[in-house]
Structures are given as structure tokens and as C-alpha cells.
């Protein structure tokens, strides 16, 4: 397989947008093209994540229209991937694999989503379609409920008093909001405190409002290509050193929802391809859809032992200047979560971090970064390992 590099990256402001999904994507894509000094007419294919375009804007089959919107060659293949919140990362993985295998030399990957048009209540119910429609959703399960249960189970399993765990969870939110203040493209750019979280409205016990990420509008895009053809083309090429993807059935089939086995399989494969282990990782953007999700993810990715994720947050190990900085962008929690675009935005952040272009939120000397994106209630998981050359 050939080495695959990221030539360019682009991302819109996250938040509430008046732009359509196509317009947002075009904005991110044009930035990525300019960043990579590539012309749209030279792109050979498009791989795009989009989850609920049909519900949001009455648009399915969006990929060819996005390709057309940015001036890609008439007839170039354009493909939509949908794996709930992991959609864009799944799209990127397939783009990477098809460049690595020689099918394409230069492609665009990314995601776009306009969630706020629904309003939060309808969006929550609509997003719940990512869980199993026969066994889960009709039982009243929404994603906040699933992660609320996971938090209770986590506290029970590891013998952590719930109030103590809630404080650790609040610290995740405080950290990610802090990071968000340093990211001009973040949805939320305000500091919060532990009290902000613990005094917030209850959403799904023990998750309170500030334990939950928002719904956002946004898009992100990357130009990737074969290193053998394009390495000299850009000054700071970033290599996609490993990719992984995993799946799981409905949550009733999970023995223990505090461990996402699909993640463990996926990241293991990505590490293997990259020839690294978790200790080699300098920075990580992971799926903090809820604060407990970040605590579970830092364990699943191998950064801390199982049951030690909350303590790691307490110690500040996941802060910008910690042992392994997690979600320097602000994460889904503060940067925002336009579901089908999230994986592409995570990848954008890692690319910028590895290039050293992140200003006040820069993780000093970062050479290896990991992307981690979860779709549904643990049913789709996708990882990327990126490396600075």
C-alpha cells in the first residue's frame, strides 16, 4: 500500500449557520484546495460524510451535488457514507484506503451537516435513529440516556462514588470549554467552571446540560493524495499512517457498555498499521459527545488503564499541557458537533496540530495524532493515526 498524505485542510465556523450544507461544504473544500495548492479539477473522487441531510434539508444523494458545487470534474465518483456521528471518519478511511491501494492519486474527503435547523428536541429524537430501531429506540432510548447509563455503570464497576465521577466529568467539560476559547472556529468560546456543570439542568441522570455536546452546523474537508506523487507539492505534508474501523450490534448485545470493543479493535488496527502504540501519541481528538464518553475513550484508546480515565482527568493529564492532550480544539463539547462533519473536523484539528499551526492551543512538538469518532450507541467506530513527516 502506498503512503497517503494530507495536502490541504479546510473547516467552516461551527455553530449556527444560515448556509446550506452544500454552501458550508464548498467553503471548507475551497479552503482545503487553496491550503493544498490543488485545483478542484484535479480531484479524482469525493468521499463525504452526511447523516441526516434528508431530514435537515430534504437532500439525500448529496455527494454528487457537493462535487459539482466545488467544480470537481464532471463525472468523477462522489460517494456519501453514513455511520451516524462517525460518518466523515468512515468516509476519510475509505478515501485513504483507495489512495493507498492506487485506485486514486488525489481525492477530497470530508463532511457537512446542518443540524440546528431542527431545533434541539427534534434533533435529539431524530439522531436517536442511530440506535437500533426495533430493540432500543422504541424503549425510549436516546443517546443522552445511553451515556447516562454508561456513567452509572462506570461508577459502579470501578467503585467510584457517583458525585466524584460527576466532578471528573465536569472537569472534562471545563477543559474542553477552555480549549474552545482558544479556537476561533469553535461553537462555544466561553470558560465554564465545575459549578457551571453541576448546577446545570439535568438531562439524563447523571448527565447534566454541560455534560452534553451541542448540535452544530458546519463542514470540514481535506485533500489527500499519494505521497509518491504529491510530497513535494506541499511544505508540510502529514501522513495518514493508520486507519481502523469497527462495528457492534445493539447495546443489548454488549456485555459492558463502559468498554467500546469496536473502538479497541479499530484503534489496534490503526496503531498496527502505523507501527506505534498509545504511548507514542502526542495529541488526540476523540468523541466527547458526553463527558463520560471522553473518560471511556481515553481508556479504550490505550492512553490510561481501564477505570483510570476519570483520575487522569482529575490530574490534568488530558489538558493542553498534560501527558496526552485530549481535544485541544474544544472537542464536540465546545467546538461543536455537526454530526456528519465531526470526523473531518477532528482530522482538520490533528493536521493543524501536527503542522504547528494552532496558535494558543498548540500542543508543543506534536508529531503523532489520533482521531477517534463514535457513531450511534457504540455501533460504529473509526480511527485515524496521523504523523508529521
Q: Write out the residues near a second copy by the rule CB under 8 A.
A: 1, 20, 22, 46, 51-52, 54-55, 57-61, 63-65, 67-69, 74-84, 90, 94, 97-98, 100-103, 126, 129-134, 137, 245-250, 253, 261-262, 264-266, 375-376, 379-380
Contact by Cβ (8 Å): 183, 189: yes
Taking the complex as a whole, how short is the minimal distance between the CB of residue 223 and a second copy, in angstroms? 18
Cα 5 to chain centroid, rounded: 19
Q: How many CA atoms lie within 13 A of 171 on its CB side?
A: 19
Q: Which alpha helices (H) appear in 161-213, and where do they start and end? A: 162-181, 194-198
Residue in the block written with cell 489520533: 370
Residue pair 275/304 in contact (Cβ under 8 Å)? The answer is no
376 and 146 in contact (C-beta within 8 Å)? Answer: no
| Residue-level length of the chain | 389
Q: Which is nearer to a second copy, 245 or 291 (CB)?
A: 245
* 178 assigned to active site: no
CB of residue 163 to a second copy, shortest distance in Å: 34
The residue assigned the cell 451515556 is 147
Looking at residue 375, the DSSP 8-state letter turns out to be E
Which CB sits closer to a second copy, 22 or 387? 22
As measured in angstroms, the least distance from the Cβ of 290 to a second copy is: 17
Burial label for 160, CB within 10 Å (0-12, 13-18, 19+), is: middle
Rounded Cα distance between 364 and 240, Å, is: 20
Q: How far apart are CA 293 and CA 343, in angstroms?
A: 15
H/E element, 343: helix 342-355
Tell me the closest approach of the beta carbon of residue 9 to a second copy, in angstroms.
23
Closest distance to a second copy from the beta carbon of 61 (Å): 4
d(CA 327, CA 349) in angstroms, rounded, equals 9
CB of 166 or CB of 287, closer to a second copy: 287
Question: Toward a second copy, which CB reaches closer, 336 or 376?
Answer: 376
If DSSP codes are grouped into helix, strand and coil, which group holds residue 65? helix
Name the residue nearer to a second copy (CB basis): 336 or 340. Answer: 340
Q: Which of 94, 337, 358, 382 does the annotation list as catalytic?
A: 337
Contacts of residue 45, defined as CB under 8 A and 6 or more positions apart, other chains included, come to: 76, 77, 78, 79, 95, 98, 104, 107, 108
Assigned C-alpha cell, 97: 484506503
d(CA 195, CA 245): 37
Q: Considering the complex, state which of residue 134 and residue 279 has its C-beta at the smaller distance from a second copy.
A: 134
**Known catalytic membership, residue 289:** no
CB of 196 to a second copy, least distance (A): 32
Helix (H, G, I), strand (E, B) or coil at 111: strand
Instruction: Closer to a second copy by CB, 84 or 292: give it.
Output: 84
In the complex, least distance from residue 247 CB atom to a second copy, rounded to whole angstroms: 4
Catalytic residue annotation:
85, 337
Amino acid at each position: 500500500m502506498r503512503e497517503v498524505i494530507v495536502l490541504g485542510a479546510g473547516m467552516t465556523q461551527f455553530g449556527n449557520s444560515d448556509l446550506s450544507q452544500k454552501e458550508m461544504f464548498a467553503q471548507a473544500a475551497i479552503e482545503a484546495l487553496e491550503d493544498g495548492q490543488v485545483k478542484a479539477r484535479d480531484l479524482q473522487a469525493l468521499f463525504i460524510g452526511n447523516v441526516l441531510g434528508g431530514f435537515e434539508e430534504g437532500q439525500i444523494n448529496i455527494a454528487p451535488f457537493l462535487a459539482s458545487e466545488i467544480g470537481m470534474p464532471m463525472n468523477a465518483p462522489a460517494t456519501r457514507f453514513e455511520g451516524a456521528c462517525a460518518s466523515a471518519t468512515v468516509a476519510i478511511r475509505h478515501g485513504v484506503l483507495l489512495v493507498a491501494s492506487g485506485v486514486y492519486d488525489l481525492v477530497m474527503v470530508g463532511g457537512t451537516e446542518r443540524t440546528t435547523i431542527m431545533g434541539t428536541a427534534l434533533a435529539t429524537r431524530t439522531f436517536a435513529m442511530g440506535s437500533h430501531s426495533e430493540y432500543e429506540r422504541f424503549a425510549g432510548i436516546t443517546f443522552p440516556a445511553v451515556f447516562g447509563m454508561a456513567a452509572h455503570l462506570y461508577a459502579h464497576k470501578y467503585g467510584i462514588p457517583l458525585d466524584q465521577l460527576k466532578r471528573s466529568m465536569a472537569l472534562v467539560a471545563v477543559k474542553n470549554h477552555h480549549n474552545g476559547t482558544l479556537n476561533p472556529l469553535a461553537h462555544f468560546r466561553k470558560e465554564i467552571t465545575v459549578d457551571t456543570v453541576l448546577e446545570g439542568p439535568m438531562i439524563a441522570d447523571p448527565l447534566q446540560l454541560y455534560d452534553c455536546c451541542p448540535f452544530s452546523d458546519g463542514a470540514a474537508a481535506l485533500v489527500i493524495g499519494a505521497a509518491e506523487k504529491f510530497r513535494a507539492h506541499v511544505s508540510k505534508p502529514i501522513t495518514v499512517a493508520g486507519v481502523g474501523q469497527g462495528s457492534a450490534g445493539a447495546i443489548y448485545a454488549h456485555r459492558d457498555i463502559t468498554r467500546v470493543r469496536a473502538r479497541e479493535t479499530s484503534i489496534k488496527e490503526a496503531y498496527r498499521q502505523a507501527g506505534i502504540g498509545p504511548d507514542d501519541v502526542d495529541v488526540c481528538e476523540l468523541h466527547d459527545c458526553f463527558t463520560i464518553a471522553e473518560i471511556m475513550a481515553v481508556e479504550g484508546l490505550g492512553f490510561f488503564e481501564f477505570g483510570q480515565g476519570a483520575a487522569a482527568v482529575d490530574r490534568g493529564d488530558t489538558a493542553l499541557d498534560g501527558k496526552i492532550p485530549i481535544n485541544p480544539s474544544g472537542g464536540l463539547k465546545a467546538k461543536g458537533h455537526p454530526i456528519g462533519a465531526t470526523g473531518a473536523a477532528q482530522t482538520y484539528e490533528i493536521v493543524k496540530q501536527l503542522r504547528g499551526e494552532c496558535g494558543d492551543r498548540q500542543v508543543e512538538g506534536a508529531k503523532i495524532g489520533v482521531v477517534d469518532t463514535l457513531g450511534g450507541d457504540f455501533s460504529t467506530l473509526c480511527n485515524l493515526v496521523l504523523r508529521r513527516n
